[in-house]
Structure 1
């Protein structure tokens, strides 16, 4: 799309000047929504003041996404893609705060845009790469301030949270067994008996997590009113029972600063802080069980049991149960022989059945992992041979189908948009309805055009075909770890209880 300048004289070095206006809000709160309108208004004022024609289609937005997470920002990724394809010549931001809140990301975005001849304008800081030239200091200084802002906010929020905890208030989700009264935890007398029963089974009867989950579900199904269902699911699972056992909240203890968030490869991840950084508040709220009960449950000598190591699974995230849709996982077992040696084997099992037994799913016919891997390899190699010539066309067919659907949808919306004028002239709709509907259509058309742009990139098509071809070639190396090859070729595999297997490929129409 081409946007022309309104100026009669040559105010810019371009007669035709494609540009984009970028806006971002980190939450969907009302004040942030207003901020988005403010960003667009400021950018529009700059565009018109500098004699460019304002186009609503030039707006690209990242809504509800923090500026510290570059990889999650689809609109920003679209800008970078368009700059690399030489599709734009300028990007306008209200401020560097909107561009990014991470200094490394800010500099990387700027270098990418400038490296592809894109003019960068941040209005509040008065930065314009067309006039700044190679002077990076101004941009770097404001980027540093932008990066420091979320850290300052984080410190302020942490201090406020710590103050609430010291006052006896609860922060975070309300744990099962409790309710919130005046921001403080109070015992939920309906759910608390379930907590006490879990600890009794675990401490006094020496029953494990899985059996406790089964007992709880049996009691619920039998209509025992003293046992409550978990809040988010209909039945109890192993992990839910384990979290309750390990949670000191039930002993009246609140642990603050146990977790923190760090940025890893462009994304935020929650990690546990070292114990010396934890702030522990004893008797913070009413306890459902005694401290002695909690310590007994969490000081069991579990080391006497051998640590169970999860077997390596080359099909992780690719196998699905046909009955419940849960992942199929790899289990391992062994049998000791009279001479002291033992025979080991691995087999497939539905993860839902493993967690909760027949209350969650059915037990599949045992399939040995080695036999399953050998069967899948044979099927894939056979598939590769049958499509060696045509799989490139299959990949292109899927892409062309998507492009055709996008074009069809755009054409339909454009036709509806044109018809709005007739409806307004004939007074079948009011002026307000006309403006509202037109904005809705134009926004959706713009979104679909961006999808069409990304789907039409020849480079991405070549990368897909190349990776699929390499994956099929890799399958001949049977002694190697083939997880990446499997994931490239296979979309998912459905495993039925009787052992039947259905393949779904990434390149099929």
Structure 2
């Protein structure tokens, strides 16, 4: 019986030199197989095109091979080098473990690695994977340094913002769009809100950069962007890997690299500062209420999610009474061009209605499960504890750098103060998690489930999601609910 072989090929970009390397990888693998007496089959080739080796979950070909390995449908996987398999140490080792666990032979031609000859406990594969991961990090640092050098020379990197064009790598004002930018800032500084500006632009038929319709979030980002008075900020975001995928996180302002008067300005610095009087504290003042109904509650007209907004009314005593109400997210972004404004209903009213309906519909439904601390709770606690360990490790490494005279005393003191502050904060968070440690409870009814969650101050989100597929809120406040259980 012939062996089922998978030849894995990966190229990270669609450039010509990368495309030609596909044939190069195939030839290397085919040559090895034929020299070993294996029969070549064109159908055994699995290709991931234009995908980084650091993105494990976003590579369909390697995912397909892993699934076939689990189903015992392949006996051997061969690839040109370990860098083609993965450029992340954790991913590389996880892939290897799956193959080894299902008795799939692994061949890396360039490194001369053969899992059948090496055995399960060899370090060669781990070392080559480490070198591959380090190369990726070094390459990333080199690219970042090259991009920073371009910005220092006055060139622009990234997506071209509305109001500009790019000529010879430098931003130049696109007057037709720049007039719209000046108009937006003038309206805003006259007291217009984001929604009114969005509605006016759409009514005038002025297209945005990416699509025909303006959205409220686009106006918010435009008004808050320093690029319009000539400054450019580098290193605002960092790409991190979470769960096999890359995600952008916003850096603290201390990590930003600010280039003043980098390119021609569309508006004056004074006009921008008038529109952004508290820009240095913008992130601290941002408030987003906790939403136990997110991803469940949908608009009955356009299907978009319903979001929570906060407002207030002044009582006869002069005090402000704050309340949270629901709004179609598409209507909030686009206005009447996107959806309609629902009749008013508060978040608390909607949450109580859903909870009461679930208790009533499920009163004869008997549950039988044990309530443990939520996965989200345990995940957050684990992340905080991991961060605390990381800070303590960095503190020790910092001391070693100082003792070995790689850094000055002033640099050491400055960094140590920052690390001590982080460690103190994280230690307080760990203590809070320990104080709120939850007891195991057996739950028999839906009503009991709600009671336990509320007593422990937990979100009801995962209870709602377990019992409800979707809640549809129509503009006239009619409500349709699709349950995940058979009601009495």
Q: SS where residue 332 of structure 2 aligns?
A: helix
- The reply on whether 1:51 has 2:37 as its aligned counterpart is yes
Supply the distance in 2 between the matched residues of 1:30 and 1:491 (Cα, whole angstroms). 47
Supply the distance in 1 between the matched residues of 2:46 and 2:443 (Cα, whole angstroms). 36
CA deviation after TM superposition for structure 1 residue 309, in Å: 3.3
- The reply on whether 1:270 has 2:248 as its aligned counterpart is yes
After superposition, the CA RMSD in angstroms is 3.4
Change beyond 3 A, Cα 1:46–1:382: farther
After TM superposition, the structure 1 stretch with the greater mean CA deviation from structure 2, 119-128 or 181-190, is: 181-190
Partner of residue 233, structure 1: 211
- The reply on whether 1:290 has 2:268 as its aligned counterpart is yes
CA deviation after TM superposition for structure 1 residue 378, in Å: 5.6
Partner of residue 253, structure 1: 231
CA deviation after TM superposition for structure 1 residue 31, in Å: 3.3
Supply the distance in 1 between the matched residues of 2:239 and 2:137 (Cα, whole angstroms). 12
Q: SS where residue 477 of structure 1 aligns?
A: helix
Q: TM-score scaled to structure 1, two decimals?
A: 0.70
Supply the distance in 2 between the matched residues of 1:295 and 1:326 (Cα, whole angstroms). 34
User: Residues 202 and 213 of structure 2 are in contact (CA less than 8 Å); yes or no, is this contact kept in structure 1?
Assistant: yes
Change beyond 3 A, Cα 1:33–1:384: farther
Name which one, 1 or 2, has greater alpha-carbon Rg. Answer: 1
CA deviation after TM superposition for structure 1 residue 362, in Å: 0.8
Partner of residue 80, structure 2: 94
Q: SS where residue 91 of structure 1 aligns?
A: strand
- The reply on whether 1:184 has 2:162 as its aligned counterpart is no
Task: Give CA-to-partner distance per residue, 1:311-335, whole Å, 9 cap, x none.
Answer: 3222212333233332211234444
Q: SS where residue 71 of structure 1 aligns?
A: coil
Supply the distance in 1 between the matched residues of 2:343 and 2:443 (Cα, whole angstroms). 30
Q: SS where residue 153 of structure 1 aligns?
A: helix
Partner of residue 299, structure 1: 277
1:280 to 253, 258, 261: 258
Change beyond 3 A, Cα 1:295–1:332: closer
- The reply on whether 1:497 has 2:479 as its aligned counterpart is no
CA deviation after TM superposition for structure 1 residue 21, in Å: 2.2
User: Residues 62 and 76 of structure 1 are in contact (CA less than 8 Å); yes or no, is this contact kept in structure 2?
Assistant: yes
User: Residues 239 and 246 of structure 2 are in contact (CA less than 8 Å); yes or no, is this contact kept in structure 1?
Assistant: yes
1:366 to 330, 344, 349: 344
After TM superposition, the structure 1 stretch with the greater mean CA deviation from structure 2, 184-193 or 261-270, is: 261-270
Change beyond 3 A, Cα 1:478–1:346: farther
Change beyond 3 A, Cα 1:285–1:507: farther
Partner of residue 208, structure 1: 193
Supply the distance in 1 between the matched residues of 2:364 and 2:42 (Cα, whole angstroms). 49
Change beyond 3 A, Cα 1:369–1:248: closer
Partner of residue 478, structure 1: 450
CA deviation after TM superposition for structure 1 residue 350, in Å: 0.6
Supply the distance in 2 between the matched residues of 1:301 and 1:77 (Cα, whole angstroms). 44
Q: SS where residue 70 of structure 1 aligns?
A: coil
CA deviation after TM superposition for structure 1 residue 28, in Å: 3.3
- The reply on whether 1:133 has 2:119 as its aligned counterpart is yes
Partner of residue 400, structure 2: none
Supply the distance in 1 between the matched residues of 2:443 and 2:165 (Cα, whole angstroms). 53
Supply the distance in 1 between the matched residues of 2:260 and 2:230 (Cα, whole angstroms). 7
Q: TM-score scaled to structure 2, two decimals?
A: 0.72
Any gaps of 5 or more consecutive residues in structure 2?
367-441, 454-458
CA deviation after TM superposition for structure 1 residue 209, in Å: 2.8
2:8 to 22, 34, 37: 22
User: Residues 471 and 488 of structure 1 are in contact (CA less than 8 Å); yes or no, is this contact kept in structure 2?
Assistant: no
Supply the distance in 2 between the matched residues of 1:64 and 1:280 (Cα, whole angstroms). 32
Partner of residue 375, structure 2: none
User: Residues 163 and 174 of structure 2 are in contact (CA less than 8 Å); yes or no, is this contact kept in structure 1?
Assistant: yes
Supply the distance in 2 between the matched residues of 1:471 and 1:356 (Cα, whole angstroms). 44
Task: Give CA-to-partner distance per residue, 1:278-334, whole Å, 9 cap, x none.
Answer: 333222221111223223332349989x95633322221233323333221123444
CA deviation after TM superposition for structure 1 residue 267, in Å: 2.0
Q: SS where residue 344 of structure 2 aligns?
A: coil
User: Residues 362 and 446 of structure 2 are in contact (CA less than 8 Å); yes or no, is this contact kept in structure 1?
Assistant: no
Change beyond 3 A, Cα 1:350–1:247: same
User: Residues 93 and 121 of structure 1 are in contact (CA less than 8 Å); yes or no, is this contact kept in structure 2?
Assistant: yes
Supply the distance in 2 between the matched residues of 1:52 and 1:240 (Cα, whole angstroms). 58
User: Residues 365 and 445 of structure 2 are in contact (CA less than 8 Å); yes or no, is this contact kept in structure 1?
Assistant: no
Task: Give CA-to-partner distance per residue, 1:458-499, whole Å, 9 cap, x none.
Answer: xxxxxxxxxxxx999767512433322433555544332122
- The reply on whether 1:330 has 2:308 as its aligned counterpart is yes
Supply the distance in 2 between the matched residues of 1:229 and 1:268 (Cα, whole angstroms). 31
Partner of residue 312, structure 1: 290
Partner of residue 118, structure 1: 104
Supply the distance in 2 between the matched residues of 1:77 and 1:104 (Cα, whole angstroms). 15
